[in-house]
Structure 1
Amino acid sequence: MSLLERLDRFNRRHPWSHNDLYGPWAAHKVSAIGARRALDVGCGTGHLVDRLRHRVPEVTGLEPDPDTARRARERFAHTPGVTILQRGFDEEVGSGWDAITLVAVLHHLPLEPTLRALREALAPKGRLVIVGCHREEGPADLPLSLISALLNPLVGMVVQPRAVTEPPPHMRAPTAAPRESLAEIRAAVRRELPGARIRRGLFWRYTLVYDRPA
């Protein structure tokens, strides 16, 4: 068994969600503008929704996977101000949102049409917060990728010290490999979300913040 195979086996036995690392950052970016209504697209079982509900009076989560949406609805069944809808972003989601968040979701959707729809769904001065996945390409991705590969098992031992045979419920939603490189995403964002700020991050993620003009 090669070193990479051993590392992959270890990571599967000590899983942790890379997305959870960015939850506090995303919630802070939303609360920083005093949002009253927030939409979390692809909310999963509701980890980010749970953070947002303490800072935003009205939070709506969209989740296309039926089983995952059911778990989220059960989790917030008695939580005022939280609504979970089992639907995808390609369905009607309304407009006038003070904040919209997507964590590891955008790569499941057509890039430019989705960016355009997200922009139009925001209220004037509304904020879009994205934690996205990108396809690794070229030497620019290599340093953070190596650091992430080394840190991943260490964090896994802290978060999930006991070996498991399957990932926790919030990590069982359908996944997909990202199609676009970060350079391609930046180019699309320049066209659809002028002025957006994109940063390369750890654990094969990038962050994006866009404020719609008044």
Structure 2
Amino acid sequence: MPETYWNHNVHYQRLVLQLVPGGCERALDVGCGDGLLVSKLAARVPAVTGADRAADAIAMARRQYGDLDNVTFVEADYLDDEKGLLPEGKYDLVTAVAVIHHADFREAVNGLVRLLAPGGRLVVVGLGKDRTPLDWIVRLAGQAASHVLKVFHGGKRGPGVPGMSPATSWAEIAREARRMLPGCRFRRLLLRRYLLTWDKPEG
């Protein structure tokens, strides 16, 4: 079994798992990295796909979790799926953790929504840019919490995926999400993340 580790993204995977909708048959984790979240979803969902545009990430995921019978890993870009590896409108759950700030927010959301089946659920854990005094206060509080959690978990580690700073502010993300996804739920999380959930209307 692969070594377990802790970082800000892993910390919120439990929250993602709590949001798996009832009756979910097919799930897709976009930007799956080393496949850790995919492996956890596989314990709850009959068929899970992990997608990442980085070939080395998919190779790592297959080495670690490729033996799971209900898991498939594909090298694919959800924004430009030329090979049609990610069928549109087929997934009851689409998750994206620390992914969509690598693209334009509107383009990223539209790309994820296309993959959702009618009645499916979108779960995004994302990053925003600090711009206001409140943003910086929340950031400092999160840094303090992160330090405590890091000590508790024996350090902050990960698969070594290159990071990227977000360009869109927290307020802009919340405003655009509510405009694009009527009825969505948006909230700031302590460890420099936000949670966005939305259920696609039936039909």
TM-score by length of structure 2 reads 0.89
Q: Which residue of 2 aligns with 1:133?
A: 127
Q: Is residue 20 from structure 1 mapped to residue 10 from structure 2 by the alignment? A: yes
Q: Are 1:144 and 1:201, in contact at CA under 8 Å, matched by a contact in 2?
A: no
**2:166 is matched with which residue: 162, 170, 178?**
178
What are the Cα deviations for residues 161-187 of structure 1, in whole angstroms up to 9, with x where unaligned? 5xxxxx74x430121100100111122
Q: Secondary structure at the match of 1:188?
A: helix
Q: Quick one: distance in 2 between partners of 1:135 and 1:72?
A: 29
Q: Quick one: distance in 2 between partners of 1:23 and 1:199?
A: 16
Quote the sequence identity (%). 36
Q: How far 1:16 sits from its partner (Å)?
A: 4.0
Q: Which has the larger share of helix? A: 1
Q: Are 1:65 and 1:173, in contact at CA under 8 Å, matched by a contact in 2?
A: no
Amino acid at match of 1:23: Q
Q: Which residue of 2 aligns with 1:154?
A: 148
Q: Which residue of 1 aligns with 2:109?
A: 115
| Bigger Cα displacement from structure 2, 175-184 vs 89-98 | 89-98
Listed as ranges, the matches of 1:6-85 within 5 Å are 16-30=6-20, 32-85=21-74
Q: Is residue 143 from structure 1 mapped to residue 143 from structure 2 by the alignment? A: no
**How much is the aligned-residue C-alpha RMSD, in angstroms?**
1.6
Runs of 4+ in structure 1 displaced over 6 angstroms? none
Q: Which residue of 2 aligns with 1:190?
A: 178
Q: Quick one: distance in 1 between partners of 2:179 and 2:190?
A: 25
Give aligned pairs, total.
193
What are the Cα deviations for residues 47-88 of structure 1, in whole angstroms up to 9, with x where unaligned? 111110000000000112222211101112211110011222
> Which consecutive residues of structure 2, in runs of 5 or more, have no partner in the other structure?
none
Structure number with higher relative contact order (C-alpha < 8 Å, ≥ 6 residues apart): 1
Q: Secondary structure at the match of 2:12?
A: helix
> Which consecutive residues of structure 1, in runs of 5 or more, have no partner in the other structure?
1-14, 162-166
Listed as ranges, the matches of 1:97-112 within 5 Å are 97-112=91-106
Q: Quick one: distance in 2 between partners of 1:68 and 1:182?
A: 28
Amino acid at match of 2:61: A
| Bigger Cα displacement from structure 2, 43-52 vs 99-108 | 43-52
Tell which structure's C-alpha radius of gyration is larger: 1
TM-score by length of structure 1 reads 0.85
Amino acid at match of 1:34: G
Q: Are 2:78 and 2:111, in contact at CA under 8 Å, matched by a contact in 1?
A: no
Q: Secondary structure at the match of 1:130?
A: strand
**1:94 is matched with which residue: 82, 87, 99?**
87
Q: Quick one: distance in 2 between partners of 1:150 and 1:28?
A: 25
Q: Are 1:196 and 1:211, in contact at CA under 8 Å, matched by a contact in 2?
A: yes
